[in-house]
Amino acid sequence: MTVVMQATAAAAATMVPADGVRDRDEGVALALRQAVAAADAVSFDFFDTLFYRVVDTPEDVFDIIGRRFGLSDFRAQRKAAQTEAFARMLKAGRKEISLAGIYECLPLDQALVRSLQAAEYALELDVIRPDPTVLAALHHALDQGKPVVITSDMYLTEPFFREALERYGVPSVPLFISSTCDATKRDFGDLFDLVADYLQVPRARLLHIGDNPRGDIEQAGAKGLATFLYQRETVAAAAVRADSSEVPTGLRGLGYSLGGPCAVAFLDWMERQVRQDGIDHVLFLARDGYVMDRIVRENPGAWDLPQCSYFGGSRTTYTLAAITDQNFTTYLPFFLSGSDGLSPYEVLERIGVPAPAPEVMRQYGLGDDVLLSPALHARMHAFLHEYRFEILAICRRNRRGLFNYMKELGFRRGTRVALVDVGWHGTTQEAFETAIQPMVDLNVQGYYFCLANSADSARRRQRHAMRGLFSTDSVADSVVRRLYDNRVLIELFFTAPHNSIIGLEPDPAGVRWLEDGRFDTKGELSAAAAAVAEGMLAYARDQVVARTAGSDAATDKTLPLETAWRLVDQLNRPQKTLADTIADLKNFDNWAATRNKDALLKDVLC
The pLDDT-based confidence of 590 (bands split at 50, 70, 90) is confident
- Give 11-43 pLDDT, tens digit per residue: 222 233 444 445 567 888 999 999 999 999 999
Q: Phi/psi class of residue 341: alpha, beta or left (left: φ > 0; alpha: ψ in -120 to 50)?
A: left
Cβ atoms of 532 and 255 within 8 Å: the answer is yes
Would you state the pLDDT for residue 573? Answer: 77
Q: How far apart are CA 583 and CA 600, in angstroms?
A: 7
Q: How far apart are CA 565 and CA 570, in angstroms?
A: 9
The angle, 0 to 180 degrees and rounded to 10, between the axes of the packed helices 60-68 and 560-571 is 50
Would you state the pLDDT for residue 22? Answer: 54
Q: How far apart are CA 148 and CA 171, in angstroms?
A: 10
Would you state the pLDDT for residue 604? Answer: 58
Annotate 472-537 with DSSP letters as a single string: TTTS-HHHHHHHHHTHHHHHHHH--SSPEEEEEE--TTSPEEEEE-TT-TTSHHHHHHHHHHHHHH
Return phi, psi of residue 235, to 5°: -115, 180
Is 50 exceeded by the pLDDT of residue 185? Answer: yes
The pLDDT-based confidence of 243 (bands split at 50, 70, 90) is very low
Is 60 exceeded by the pLDDT of residue 404? Answer: yes
The pLDDT-based confidence of 489 (bands split at 50, 70, 90) is confident
Q: How far apart are CA 578 and CA 200, in angstroms?
A: 67
Residues 6+ apart with CB under 8 A from 410: none
Would you state the pLDDT for residue 596? Answer: 77
Q: Of 3, 42, 35, whose CA–CA distance to 206 is shortest?
A: 42
Q: How far apart are CA 330 and CA 328, in angstroms?
A: 6
- Give 44-99 pLDDT, tens digit per residue: 999 999 999 999 999 999 999 999 999 999 999 999 999 999 999 999 999 999 99
Q: Of 513, 398, 404, 494, whose CA–CA distance to 449 is shortest?
A: 494
Q: Which CATH number describes the domain made up of 2-54+127-233?
A: 3.40.50.1000
Q: How far apart are CA 387 and CA 400, in angstroms?
A: 21
Q: How far apart are CA 563 and CA 241, in angstroms?
A: 6
Distance of CA 250 to the CA centre of its chain: 27
Would you state the pLDDT for residue 9? Answer: 41
Cβ atoms of 313 and 402 within 8 Å: the answer is yes
Across the chain, what does the average pLDDT equal? 90
Is 60 exceeded by the pLDDT of residue 490? Answer: yes
Length of the chain as a residue count: 606
Looking at residues 517-534, what average pLDDT do you find? 87
The pLDDT-based confidence of 579 (bands split at 50, 70, 90) is low
* SS3 call for 85: helix
* SS3 call for 584: coil
Looking at residues 459-486, what average pLDDT do you find? 95
Would you state the pLDDT for residue 25? Answer: 72
| pLDDT above 90 as % of the chain | 82
Domain residue spans of the chain: 2-54+127-233, 60-124, 250-317+394-604, 319-393
Would you state the pLDDT for residue 592? Answer: 77
Q: How far apart are CA 414 and CA 457, in angstroms?
A: 25
Would you state the pLDDT for residue 14? Answer: 29
Q: How far apart are CA 487 and CA 470, in angstroms?
A: 13
- Give 329-344 pLDDT, tens digit per residue: 999 999 999 999 999 9
Cβ count within 10 A of residue 462: 7
Would you state the pLDDT for residue 575? Answer: 61
Cβ count within 10 A of residue 143: 9
Is 50 exceeded by the pLDDT of residue 288? Answer: yes
Would you state the pLDDT for residue 593? Answer: 78
